[in-house]
A and B are shown apart, each in its own frame.
Chain A
């Protein structure tokens, strides 16, 4: 902290940090994508009450929701190589980035599973009955009637999860990933201007979040057009 605060450094640091935004976004996009797949896979046993698998999924979700992301990160970072070494696979030299992506995918998967399950149960059963009454199969009912409505219910929560996940990527540096935050730490080590670096980082994160929020809002408005009761009411 020794050095005098120099606001001009903030502007100087921002371009350097933005160059590493790509890594941050890579973690985000990969973990949201994989998390969605895990989330769907984990929601199915709960929705269809598949015994044993359902209980296992419940424990998985409870554990993820019950522990900090940083602990999950350390567990994957130290635990995965240990587990895989039992079957003679050595990943101890794997890039830290992949450990981060695995952790965040597992974390998002648990959150998505809960979101999907909640959203699907939120669609009124009358919709399913109507689908059956016109002769649809359960599969047609799910893909054409239930899922499109559920995804709209889930959307605000999904958006929140994406934004939360972006903010969580700021912890990836703790296992040595050179993302925006990691780069920030190296600047601090070199210049000792910690406050300026953190202000610069905050600005970049904030701007990215604002852009994401704006994008989600536009999409949500479009997706919810059928909910408006104020247009063309008889």
Chain B
């Protein structure tokens, strides 16, 4: 068996068409997950009655199980729940018309929410206690102190973790091919089996993922440099 190097380029061009879907599956869940994570963090920080243990259980379970389980549980579970609602109310909808990528996005948003909640929480705990006290001392309310003092610093400190998580989620989208999504891995699989050139196709896919990962890290690096200017210190 010889590696067909020119075919890598052919496969590359074909597989690259799946970049938009991959980015959509990677970015939307992280954005939705950010808001889930924020809400969950606040529930856990302020020990909101009733919701506190649910929030803890949610974070623990989603961090403690593989993401592929989340996709499968949502992909098989949600239609079942929806079908029983539709049937009992006699609604004119069909769950099999729901595009699969919505399940994937929903599942990965829940996954991202759990991880982001931990990231935001550790960011908050790394902000000095005196910051909140100083905010109170000038008469801020708790939401003001949170929103204007604590969170901006906590999020700025969390940027390296956000980077890792985002790149991690780009990679996690590869399992969407198991529910027949034509994202990068799914497309690579198709190109591979229809041309019987497996290695070449996956080399091409690997190069694309690698490239996107490096670009993502670069973007975050620029953001980090801009955002964390205040923490540079220096001699005054």
Contacts and interface: CB of A to CB of B under 8 A. Distances in A.
Q: Do A and B bind each other?
A: yes
Interface of A: 1, 5, 62-63, 65-72, 74-75, 78-79, 81-82, 85, 163, 167-168, 170-171, 174, 181, 194-195, 198-199, 201-202, 205-206, 209-210, 213
A5 B81 CA distance: 10
B64 A67 contact: no
B38 interface: no
B206 A63 contact: yes
A167 B199 CA distance: 25
Contact of A205 (B3, B69, B203): B69
Given A65-B213, A167-B66, A195-B77, A71 B175 contact: no
B182 to A, nearest CB: 15
Contacts of A70: 174-175, 177, 185
Contacts of A213: 64
Given A71-B202, A195-B77, A198-B73, A206 B209 contact: no
Contacts of A5: 80
B169 to A, nearest CB: 10
B206 A67 contact: yes
Interface in B190-218: 198-199, 202-203, 205-206, 209-211, 213-214
Interface string B55-73: 0000011011111110011
Given A5-B80, A66-B213, A75-B199, A209 B65 contact: yes
12 contacts: A62-B210, A63-B206, A68-B174, A70-B175, A71-B174, A71-B185, A74-B198, A79-B199, A171-B66, A195-B77, A201-B69, A210-B60
A195 B76 CA distance: 6
A92 B68 CA distance: 28
Interface string B169-181: 0111111011000
Contacts of B205: 71
